[in-house]
Amino acid sequence: MSYRLLLCWSLALSVSLSAQNVLPIGSWRTHFPQRNGTYVTQSDDQIFFATTGAVMIIDKDEIAPRFISKVDGLSGVDIQLLKYHKPTETLLIVYRSGRLDLWRKDGEVVTVNSIANFTNIVGEKRVNKVFVGEDNLLFFATTFGVSVFQIDRAVFPFTTFMGELNVRDVTIHGGYLYAATEEGIYRIVVDSPVIDDFEAWEYLGMNRGLPGVYNSHALAVYNGELYLGVNEDIYRWENEAAVLFADLEEGHNLHYMTGEGTHLLVGYRCDEAAVCGDSRAYYYRADGSGGRLAPDCIGLVNNAIEDERGRVWFGDEYEDFRYLDNVEDSTCNRFSFREQGPYRYLAWDLAMADGKLWVATGAVTPTKTPRFLDWGVAQFADGRWRILNRWTNEAFRGRNPDPNFRDDDVFTIIDVEVNRVTNKVYAASYYAGLIEIDGETVRLYNDQDSPLSNTINDESRTRVSGLRADEEGNLWVSNYNPVEGAALHRLAPDGTWTSFPNTGGASELFQIDIDPNGFKWIIDASSSKGVLVYDEGDINNPGDDRRRVFTAANSELPTNETNCLVVDNDGDVWVGTNAGIIIFECGATAFEPNCQGSLRIVELDGFLEYLFKTQAILALAVDGANRKWVGTANNGLYLISEDG
């Protein structure tokens, strides 16, 4: 028995499909990228890295990683930053949505949704930095102001809202709370009774030795002194005024400062208005001496920390986990666990055959615009991950193999299919054509060497949007909204192509599945059509082809906005729409007028209504027991009985 999980839009479902999997039935295992650590923090004996989907923990005595993820109780995957709180032995995990997880020393996870769910905040609710104060208080620099969080009780005593100011960092020094913003630095006495009134805060300007107009992204207390990031410069606070401590050439903005070790660590990012080519990191001593940290250890750095041995650990967006043995070390230590995880976090489509899992790692928007992701195709077999993309295989660089030329690269892989007759694997690029993987040989089909056509209103791109192989080894291909020719094609095992130009007016074809009669059921992504069913009949006789387009006007479809479909083990076709699920149980009569589809009626809170009537269904899968796995836009994953 083979299983297939079909994903639509931007939903990634984690399922275990391998026949060799030793997990108990009903258990879950997560697979997440283990290629880099985007943020770093430390306890007395451990280093914590934020990765895509998990937290990596290593002991300072040896690099032997372990991970905590949703399987261990974490509430999310999109980690923004980490901060370890030593007094309570708690790891604070901050997500991009503003949600917080507190990972306690006993493994308990406490989730706090106060920021994420706060409806009075308009716009983004992101935490930029966290400062650890006294009395178990943490101070959050956020996009809406400064929030104070009591970590032992998991509550927010107060928030100072600062209008449209984006607070980039926050610290305490000399009895004052300081906030760095895009429009300069503000402060207030930390125990002021009006601390939550932004009008009571003092702006630090020219009267305090600072420029008249400036931005500030970073603050730090180092060696008992306060350091201020001002544009690309560093100032030190002396006698209630700012004194220039260090400067850097224009083109960079100071991004972070860390003073928890024996050196002041400083990181720079390129100014958005300049082209400076790189990020940079420096170290300073209190007397102003210092130097640049090894450039080959710096990619797109988010933060850095120095441990008690003098090692410098970097949180960086680029590949590999990185550290230096000391600030003057010119050799960057790198490590990663590439084969233990996929390339990136996104899984748009999954296919399984012969104990190997294949993953399409692209995505499209709800309006069918490609997201320009070059992450390629991932394969999981024998406990190891293999990645095929422009960085590992020349075919993914398109017609021009020059690694510096990106315009015709194979972006946005949104479907993957294993042909069990030929043992070839195919990947649909919603940008550059069709990838064929035959062992170690990889080939790209596009408008130059196949009947595939470029796309209306995007005439330099070949959008392949759906794949399915039939029992004879023919690969059926959706060619989205072609400029000319057909939207539906067949690639035979001998390499010959056949095109089917008459699809009943449906041209924005997407996902394909095939029922036991050999009928092709295809999602149409336009707002005027729903589902196409196609029967090619005798391949040598175009005149006997049959086609039918189901819409909300001629069937029980609740809407023409269809997202995904799957043929179950009985041959019935389940279609996910923006208004629930419709089931076509027509068998060989799919082209007859009486085939209308049906909507399941279920009881909910004592009332009868259609199955998932108010929910957008983005993903459907069928397991060996013919149960249906249903992925929704806003309410997670459901498992329902075989008949709904």
* Domain CATH code at residue 206: 2.130.10.10
Q: What's residue 17's pLDDT?
A: 39
In a domain, 571, yes or no: no
Residue 227 burial (CB count, 10 A)? 26
Judging by beta carbons within 10 Å of its beta carbon (0-12, 13-18, 19+), is residue 329 exposed, middle or buried?
Answer: middle
Per mean pLDDT, which of 118-122, 214-218, 249-253, 605-609 is the most reliable? 214-218
Check residues 434 and 52 and name the one with the higher pLDDT: 434
Check residues 262 and 7 and name the one with the higher pLDDT: 262
Count of structural domains within the chain? 2
461-492 confidence digits (pLDDT tens) = 999 999 999 999 999 999 999 999 999 999 99
Q: Mind spelling out the 3-state secondary structure of 147-197?
A: EEEECCCCEEEEEEECCCCCEEEEEEECCEEEEEECCEEEEEECCCCCCCC
- Say if residue 118 is in the same domain as residue 75: yes
Q: What's residue 272's pLDDT?
A: 65
- Say if residue 252 is in the same domain as residue 330: no
In a domain, 157, yes or no: yes
Averaged over 545-570, what is the pLDDT?
96
| 405 contacts: CB under 8 Å, gap ≥ 6 | 397
Q: What's residue 342's pLDDT?
A: 83
User: Tokens 């009006």 label which residue?
Assistant: 194
Q: Which domain holds residue 275?
A: 259-341
- Say if residue 94 is in the same domain as residue 170: yes
In a domain, 135, yes or no: yes
Three-state SS at 222: strand
Mean pLDDT check: name the lowest of 22-31, 102-111, 390-399, 537-546. Answer: 22-31
Mean pLDDT check: name the lowest of 107-121, 509-523, 563-577. Answer: 107-121
In a domain, 170, yes or no: yes
Tell me the backbone φ, ψ of residue 276, rounded to 5 degrees. Answer: -110, -10
Of residues 381, 384, 400, 403, the one with CA closest to residue 392: 403
- Say if residue 254 is in the same domain as residue 272: no
Q: Which residues of 423-433 are buried (b: 16+ CB within 10 A; e: fewer)?
A: ebbbbbbbbbb
What is the C-alpha separation between 633 and 617, in angstroms, rounded?
Answer: 6
The domain boundary, picked from 243, 258, 273, lies at 258
- In the structure, what pLDDT confidence band is assigned to residue 326 with cuts at 50, 70 and 90? very high
Q: What's residue 28's pLDDT?
A: 80
165-213 confidence digits (pLDDT tens) = 999 999 999 999 999 999 999 999 999 999 999 999 999 999 999 999 9
In a domain, 253, yes or no: yes
Q: What's residue 33's pLDDT?
A: 80
Q: What's residue 22's pLDDT?
A: 63
Range list of β-strands (E), 331-459:
333-335, 349-353, 356-360, 377-381, 384-388, 413-418, 425-431, 433-438, 441-445
Residue 255: in which H helix or E strand, if any? Answer: strand 252-258
CA distances from 331 to 163, 296, 325 (A): 45, 8, 8
In a domain, 473, yes or no: no
Q: What's residue 4's pLDDT?
A: 39
Mean pLDDT check: name the lowest of 94-98, 254-258, 606-610. Answer: 606-610
- Say if residue 190 is in the same domain as residue 250: yes
Q: What's residue 15's pLDDT?
A: 38
- Say if residue 299 is in the same domain as residue 322: yes
Q: For all residues of the chain together, what is the average pLDDT?
A: 91
In a domain, 1, yes or no: no
Tell me the backbone φ, ψ of residue 433, rounded to 5 degrees. Answer: 125, -145
- Say if residue 181 is in the same domain as residue 272: no
158-169 confidence digits (pLDDT tens) = 999 999 999 999
- Say if residue 46 is in the same domain as residue 169: yes
- Say if residue 214 is in the same domain as residue 272: no
In a domain, 127, yes or no: yes
The domain boundary, picked from 258, 273, 297, lies at 258
- Say if residue 216 is in the same domain as residue 264: no
Residue 16 pLDDT exceeds 50? no
- Say if residue 234 is in the same domain as residue 289: no
- Say if residue 190 is in the same domain as residue 163: yes
| 143 contacts: CB under 8 Å, gap ≥ 6 | 123, 124, 125, 126, 128, 166, 167
Residue 6 pLDDT exceeds 60? no
Averaged over 134-157, what is the pLDDT?
97
The domain boundary, picked from 192, 225, 258, lies at 258
